[in-house]
Structure 1
Amino acid sequence: MTLSEQQPQRPGQYGPEPPTGYPAEYEADVVLRDGATAHLRPITPADAELLVAFYARVSEQSKYYRFFAPYPQLSDRDVARFTQVDYTDRLALIVTVGDQMIGVGRYERTGRRTAEVAFLIEDAHQGRGLGQLLLEHLSQAAREHGITRFVAEVLPDNRKMITVFTEAGYKVAREFEDGVIIVEFDIAPTDTSFGVMQAREQRSEALSIARLLTPASVAVIGASRREGTIGNALLRNLRDGFPGRLYAVNADTKADELEGVPAYATIRDVEDTVDLAVVAVPAEAVVDVVLDCAAKGVRGLVVVSSGFAEIGAEGRRRQRRLVGLARSYGMRVIGPNALGVINTAPGVTLNASLSPLMPSRGRVAFFCQSGALGVSILADMVGRGLGLSSFVSAGNRADVSGNDLMQYWYSDEATEVVLLYLESLGNPRKFSRVSRRLASRKPVIALKSGRATQGVPLGHTVRRSQLPPATVDSLFRQSGLIGVDTTGELFDVAQLMAHQPLPKGRRVGIVSNSDALTLLALDTMAACGLHVAGEPYNLSADASAADFETALTEVFADDQVHSVVVIFTPPVLSNSDEVAQVLAAAAADSDKPVVSTFLASRSVPEQLRVPGESGSAARGSIPSFLSPQYAVGALAKATQYAEWRRRADSRIPDLPGIDTAGAEDFVQEFLQRHPNGADLDDADRQRLLSFYDINVLPAFPVLSGDEAVARAADLGFEVILKATAEQWRMRPDLADIWRHIHDEDDMREAWAEMTETFGVAGDPGRAQFVVQKMAPPGVPVVISALEDVAFGPVVSFGLSGVATDLLGDRSYRMPPLTTTDAAEMVREVRAAPLLYGYRGTDPVDIAAIEDLLHRVARLTLELEEVVRLDLRSVLVHATGATVVDTTIRIAPNEKPRQDTPARRLT
């Protein structure tokens, strides 16, 4: 059978139908340690032949390590036992590349909370990180089935397997018994295990992108000598700069060369190895090309061809097939419908794109999705003289995404600044985690389109979020991203970040020879939260270079100045070179960032340029902007980012009084009673929240005045009567709460007035009245958590009230929350001054609010089935906070979260 006739065994997709109970959610495409991809999935009885063939390729030593005795072949009974599992108490996961199994890991429950775990990796694939990947996925599956501890028996000289356990980040205990090492460890995720996993993820995903961006040989499949065609443009762009081996592939060619490049009918005919294939053939032919590339051992694909998910259902099926096949044979895919990739690194000089422009080498990396926009972006970068390290236009981003590129740029020494133009977020939780890590090292400037409409381009498969557009802005702030609103602003900030140091504070010195432009700068500073340091140096319109030198010397010497804005717009240009020399000399000896409006230039003027090795502007060059508004706007963004970088050490706090296991058991019991999910009643809400040490002031439903009096008496009066029906809550024209009920007469008066006001005297049950003990007076706030289908758990905070709801005055964060995250949530809402003593009122207990935020975040992070939680009335006072009203809904999680503890490609 030829490779083009073979299909990877992927149950439910390309292979046989899976057995009953088969957990398809455990399937995952994974990246190995060397950057290649593979497919991981549960084993099935149909894998018997696959297992036998795999076992035959395993060395005798590896077999001995697995079974502690010579075991040359598997019996029929062995095969049946190893391939027939129940996926709960006995689970086996296998890793495949193409049509071959290369590794297997399994656990078997030995007690209520314990299981024995074992692995077998084909010798040719040992050292590629399969053991760690299998352990991560087995641990995740085991935790879902109540297993908390793994046990393994390992021979003392099987050092590779011992390393798999000891380097996993778990706390491992070892004992030596009868010549065997007994390894035991809890599999609950820890900060250490998360850190280990994320470091491995970054390294492997970075390597998978490096295979695409640094090829030694490239083949253009669909190459053409006909001008005006995509195949011709790709071939020419590569030919004119790429120093490696280049091949033209066209099924219809009979020539030995195309455009001076060796030509072949298929990629299989190429004598040498091929690292990267750039594909520009009709969509219906792409799958055959993928299989040919797999047979050739190609390491990655850039698919420029269109006709995939952007055209509808048939295209989506074609796209899934393309990605599934490529990943199953170890290849990553950029595209389809992509503009291509560019890498300006010395020795690479790769323009595998449709862009006729090859930017100069620089320190800025760029990721975008739209091909059409990519062309204009590259033109703008060239026009501004902004050097590029690498560029990727991912098209439909069916495989390689912005997350992958950020993993690569994190460790790419050629990249100092990262630009993202995002039309959709495929995995927001991973995006937040990866971008936060990158932003802690390098500035990341991001423009997200479609924030108001949540619209996404055709071809992008995303989960539709229920959250407001402000959530994306909050996600950016939480992750340290520099969010911008236009492409112009994107490049303005990039110019500053690429050439100047970060500000050390918010105070700005101004040197200007235009009063009008100085006023514009001051207005923009006030709007952006920057502060003028002293008085601006307002020079005359005909100020000389010496005048500028005097002013600049004083500004740069002033310790109260953190950044400098220079405005130079003389009526004549006779002294512009002299002023430029003075400005460049003054800035060269300073660590303060400088922005300018120099002759209204929109780039780095030649006079202010520090030449780089490749001709682009080097660090230390002074960027110029069309107006002071743009210059100050960019400086404000840089200042905010610098403050984020300087934040005090932020940590996820330890929270006493939390019983996660009890909460998980409660949720499972509730779902057994309500398989389709339901809202919790008051008793269940209080019970669930108590597992996270969140105490709620009890409220007691009443249906009559007599019942209200009796309940108030039981409570010792000093109570409230409250209507909790949704249609009457927070109505500005109705009082839904009657406070300060001291005795029976007060209660009867309250009952009569409220039933009359709400028009429910004949049916008081419609108002859903409750009696509740009076809480200490305070400022009412709302803390909510929502399990969003795209973002996963999201926590929000705001002050309570109709006006706040209408204005959308809420802050949002994705758990886990650090101490800084919680503090910022409280302070960034516009109504926050009410919490800190407004017009003579006492400040409230901010720490109590932050503690509740952490506990709600922890709850929603650990309990995916809590799809909605509202502490919809929390009274915060000077010495604490009282939760007086809650709603909670629990339901089965139909779409699991995308960013799981175990590594996978999504």
Structure 2
Amino acid sequence: MEKFFYPESVVVIGVSNRPGNLATGVIHNLQHFGFSGRYYAVGREEGEVLGVPIHVSLEEIEDRIDLAVILTPTATVPAIFRECAAKGISRLIIESAGFREYKDDFRRIEDELLAVCREHGLRFIGPNCIGTMNFARHMCLHFSPQRILPRLGRVGLVSQSGGITVWFSHLLSREGVGLNKAASVGNKLNVDEADLLEYFLRDPEVQMPVLYLEGFSRGRRLLDLARGSDKPILVWKSNAFPQSAGIALSHTAAILADDRVADAALLQAGIWRSRDAHHFTVAAKALSLKPMKGNRLMIIARSGGHAVMCADRAAGHGFELVKPPAEFFEAINRIAPETRITRQNPLDIGDVFDATCYDRMVEAALRIPGLDGLVFLQLLTPIENNQRSDAMMKRVAALAASASVPVGIGYIIQGGDTAPLKQALDYPIFDNPDDTLDALAIARDYWRLKARARRERKFEELNRDQTQAATIVGRAQGRLLAADQALELLAAYGIAVPPWRRAAGPESAAPAAKELGFPVALKAISAQVSHKTEAGAVVLDLKTADEITEAARAMADQLGPALPAAGREGYLVQKMAGPAVELILGGKRDLSFGPVLILGLGGIFAEVLDRVVIRLLPIDRQEAREMIEDLPGLALLKGARGQAPADLEALADLILRAGQILLDHQAIQELDLNPVRAYPADALALDARVILSTQET
């Protein structure tokens, strides 16, 4: 990736003197911002643009070229790739649009480009992008002429959208964060977000990678990179609500919508996700602050009302307002001896009008023992907003930058504009109390999330009969395991289920029930029925031989005409399990991230209750316990209202074993254990649905 950001020489292909020529914009930006390397222009006709000669072929350029930027019609690009390969140019950027995003037939051209890359060892960014930028080197390869470079900072930006690249660049610049490098990746045909994230994680000039994505090319690789790094990573993932390609075959698939999987995957890897421009701005500034290691907070505000607002927001985030020692208040009295200030936190300094006092108060607050974070909220009228107040804010910002704890600075000008001060400071400031407190909460919560993601995991070998399991999956007819096959698969993995028997027909159901002991459940054994409850393929709580015989006959009559294969494979008679807290446990094979596991409350009502926890596999036993601990409604499992607590270790073991099924069998597309009941001394899976992939495995 190095030559995409540090080329010594660049050739721009597609340059002409015609008005509106896009490639000329790249030449303009290289000139305008003072790119220190060498650059050349290539076009179909000789000439000159912006004082740069236009060559008609790469052969005319005697210099060694590190990077080619291509802005030519789609059909011409494969031949240009071959010319670049012959010239020894191994890094290319295709800024031209009009590939598969325009017409699906152009995939043939994309395939040809990839073939040339494999043959000659080329790497390229794009197509349909605006290239790379290295602001420390004054390099901007955007085809649209730019007027100013963003503020130099420590962010490395990767974006699928060229427009978002420009917007984020100026947004981060305006908000005091700044930018170091940026890459617009467009269609991500060759170089993708994982390649660039890996580069930015190694780059000492990039402190925080920021990604704007509309989809993941190699989701697993991205997560593995993030998990292994100590740098903060911020992602804005859009395209969150794609239409489903078909009706989900299981409850689990219905809950595991793609965006929810992405959300869980990013958190699990220690990546902070933003969903809108406002939250993105706050998060970007928050992650540029020092990490907040605890909850002990001090607030200094120039308005009593704003102090109360800060205290409310702090409580909502679980912060603890520290009780400052007497030495702190004595220092405050020395700084502002003529003003009576109540000894409390938040510290209301609304009656202090000497701006030269404020930075000294901040400095005193930073000396409070055991402090984890500080908020300083400045409120000014337009008259007070002057050079004197700006100088004070610069001193506060300098103190904040050198402090060992994060300092959230809120700056409010009544009827005024904070933009000039934001541009003047090399430290992010916030426009209101809520954003200031939210930023400190992110500075705390993100690093807890990161520590959890980077914990060394301890995987264990679970006892299971893999030979038996492979036989069960291998003899499946169609995409769905029959009810008895699904339970046999669970047994092969040591997952406890209520006792059950097969019955060939209605007349043999009663003897099977008597052997198990009433009450029992009756289920059709069929590889044609996915949702047994909706299809009428299950009857619960049968208490007599007559009841089960009658239910079996009625089931055969009901299912036979609609689903000829259903009911003809027999019946499964199962001992009814006692009441307990019900859950759903399942998973699927996600296109971007691979096998994913879900745990939720509610059993058959899980989709309605919508209380779920999602994890990417593999997980270890601690992560299985964390899934339980993170579950909304955990109190139900811990013995709410006098109920005996569930065996959470048994439940964690069941979670691990269900995950192992997905890991061991690539042919399994979806797994649904629903309901699972958690008892004081055990956890049982009452039913299972196993859906196989349509692809050959």
Length-normalised TM-score, structure 1: 0.65
Contact 1:303 1:337 in 2 (8 A): yes
1:479 aligns with 2:272: no
Q: Which amino acid aligns with 1:538?
A: D
Q: CA deviation at 1:564?
A: 1.8
**Cα RMSD for the two superposed structures:** 3.5
Contact 2:24 2:143 in 1 (8 A): no
Name 2:678's counterpart in structure 1: 876
* 1:133-156 CA distance string (max 9 Å, x none): xxxxxxxxxxxxxxxxxxxxxxxx
Name 2:634's counterpart in structure 1: 832
* 1:710-745 CA distance string (max 9 Å, x none): 223323x264335678767399x999532xx8xxxx
Instruction: Write the mapping of 1:165-244 to structure 2, written as runs, cut at 5 A.
Output: 209-226=1-18, 228-240=20-32, 241-244=34-37
Name 1:644's counterpart in structure 2: 449
Name 2:336's counterpart in structure 1: none
Q: CA deviation at 1:400?
A: 1.2
Name 1:449's counterpart in structure 2: 238
For residues 735 and 555 of structure 1, what CA distance do their matches in structure 2 show?
67
Name 1:32's counterpart in structure 2: none
1:371 aligns with 2:149: no
Instruction: Write the mapping of 1:371-390 to structure 2, written as runs, cut at 5 A.
Output: 371-390=162-181
Aligned CA distance change for structure 1 residues 606 and 274 (closer, same or farther; 3 Å): same
Contact 1:303 1:335 in 2 (8 A): yes
For residues 308 and 465 of structure 1, what CA distance do their matches in structure 2 show?
34
Q: Which amino acid aligns with 2:98?
A: G
1:721 aligns with 2:531: no
1:293 aligns with 2:84: yes
Q: Which runs of 5+ in 2 are unaligned?
A: 246-253, 324-344, 561-565
Contact 1:584 1:608 in 2 (8 A): no
1:695 equivalent among 496, 514, 520: 496
For residues 455 and 23 of structure 2, what CA distance do their matches in structure 1 show?
52
Contact 1:217 1:246 in 2 (8 A): yes
For residues 122 and 134 of structure 2, what CA distance do their matches in structure 1 show?
19
Q: CA deviation at 1:818?
A: 3.6
For residues 826 and 494 of structure 1, what CA distance do their matches in structure 2 show?
31
* 1:639-670 CA distance string (max 9 Å, x none): 22110233383414203313446644654x42
Name 1:247's counterpart in structure 2: 40
Q: Which amino acid aligns with 1:235?
A: I
Aligned to 1:425, the other structure's residue is in SS state: coil
Aligned CA distance change for structure 1 residues 835 and 465 (closer, same or farther; 3 Å): closer
Name 1:302's counterpart in structure 2: 93
For residues 97 and 401 of structure 2, what CA distance do their matches in structure 1 show?
49
For residues 365 and 860 of structure 1, what CA distance do their matches in structure 2 show?
36
Aligned CA distance change for structure 1 residues 517 and 800 (closer, same or farther; 3 Å): same
Q: CA deviation at 1:853?
A: 2.0
Q: CA deviation at 1:838?
A: 2.0
1:563 aligns with 2:373: yes
Name 2:385's counterpart in structure 1: 573
Name 1:170's counterpart in structure 2: none
For residues 512 and 475 of structure 2, what CA distance do their matches in structure 1 show?
28
Aligned to 2:686, the other structure's residue is in SS state: strand
Q: Which runs of 5+ in 1 are unaligned?
A: 1-208, 457-463, 610-616, 897-906
Contact 2:161 2:184 in 1 (8 A): yes
1:429 aligns with 2:230: no
Q: CA deviation at 1:812?
A: 1.6
For residues 862 and 870 of structure 1, what CA distance do their matches in structure 2 show?
16
Is 562-571 or 287-296 further displaced after alignment? 562-571
Is 569-578 or 354-363 further displaced after alignment? 569-578
Aligned CA distance change for structure 1 residues 653 and 573 (closer, same or farther; 3 Å): same
Aligned CA distance change for structure 1 residues 893 and 516 (closer, same or farther; 3 Å): farther
Aligned to 1:289, the other structure's residue is in SS state: helix
Name 1:628's counterpart in structure 2: 433
1:349 aligns with 2:132: no
Q: Which amino acid aligns with 2:631?
A: V
For residues 777 and 604 of structure 1, what CA distance do their matches in structure 2 show?
65
1:410 aligns with 2:201: yes
* 1:663-708 CA distance string (max 9 Å, x none): 44654x426xx4xx43223443344334433233332355888745
Q: Which amino acid aligns with 2:35?
A: F
Contact 2:523 2:537 in 1 (8 A): no
Q: CA deviation at 1:343?
A: 1.1
For residues 776 and 554 of structure 1, what CA distance do their matches in structure 2 show?
63
Instruction: Write the mapping of 1:41-80 to structure 2, written as runs, cut at 5 A.
Output: none
Aligned CA distance change for structure 1 residues 791 and 590 (closer, same or farther; 3 Å): closer
Aligned CA distance change for structure 1 residues 523 and 421 (closer, same or farther; 3 Å): farther
Q: CA deviation at 1:351?
A: 1.3
Instruction: Write the mapping of 1:384-403 to structure 2, written as runs, cut at 5 A.
Output: 384-403=175-194
Q: Which amino acid aligns with 1:228?
A: G
Name 2:544's counterpart in structure 1: 747
Aligned to 1:678, the other structure's residue is in SS state: coil
Q: CA deviation at 1:367?
A: 0.6
Q: CA deviation at 1:474?
A: 0.6
Q: Which amino acid aligns with 1:556?
A: L
Contact 2:617 2:663 in 1 (8 A): yes
Aligned CA distance change for structure 1 residues 258 and 553 (closer, same or farther; 3 Å): closer
Name 1:100's counterpart in structure 2: none
Instruction: Write the mapping of 1:78-227 to structure 2, written as runs, cut at 5 A.
Output: 209-226=1-18
Q: Which amino acid aligns with 2:480?
A: D
* 1:764-821 CA distance string (max 9 Å, x none): 9989975433545432211112123443221111123454312432222221114453
Is 544-553 or 847-856 further displaced after alignment? 544-553
For residues 234 and 578 of structure 1, what CA distance do their matches in structure 2 show?
39
Contact 1:657 1:693 in 2 (8 A): yes
Contact 1:722 1:737 in 2 (8 A): yes
Q: CA deviation at 1:212?
A: 1.8
Aligned to 1:400, the other structure's residue is in SS state: coil
Aligned to 2:642, the other structure's residue is in SS state: coil
Q: Which amino acid aligns with 1:233?
A: G
Name 2:653's counterpart in structure 1: 851
Aligned to 1:679, the other structure's residue is in SS state: coil
For residues 19 and 153 of structure 2, what CA distance do their matches in structure 1 show?
31
1:811 aligns with 2:608: no
Aligned CA distance change for structure 1 residues 893 and 856 (closer, same or farther; 3 Å): farther
For residues 851 and 777 of structure 1, what CA distance do their matches in structure 2 show?
20
> Would you say how many aligned residue pairs link Structure 1 and Structure 2?
647
* 1:848-867 CA distance string (max 9 Å, x none): 22222222222212311012
Q: Which amino acid aligns with 1:247?
A: Y
Aligned to 1:310, the other structure's residue is in SS state: coil
Q: CA deviation at 1:555?
A: 4.1
Aligned CA distance change for structure 1 residues 657 and 580 (closer, same or farther; 3 Å): same
For residues 869 and 472 of structure 1, what CA distance do their matches in structure 2 show?
19
For residues 683 and 704 of structure 1, what CA distance do their matches in structure 2 show?
15
1:536 equivalent among 346, 350, 372: 346
Q: Which amino acid aligns with 1:243?
A: S
* Sequence identity percentage: 27
2:102 equivalent among 293, 311, 328: 311
Contact 1:604 1:624 in 2 (8 A): no
Aligned to 2:106, the other structure's residue is in SS state: helix
Aligned to 1:392, the other structure's residue is in SS state: strand
For residues 419 and 645 of structure 2, what CA distance do their matches in structure 1 show?
48
For residues 458 and 321 of structure 2, what CA distance do their matches in structure 1 show?
36
Contact 1:371 1:393 in 2 (8 A): yes
Aligned CA distance change for structure 1 residues 792 and 441 (closer, same or farther; 3 Å): same
Aligned CA distance change for structure 1 residues 664 and 771 (closer, same or farther; 3 Å): closer
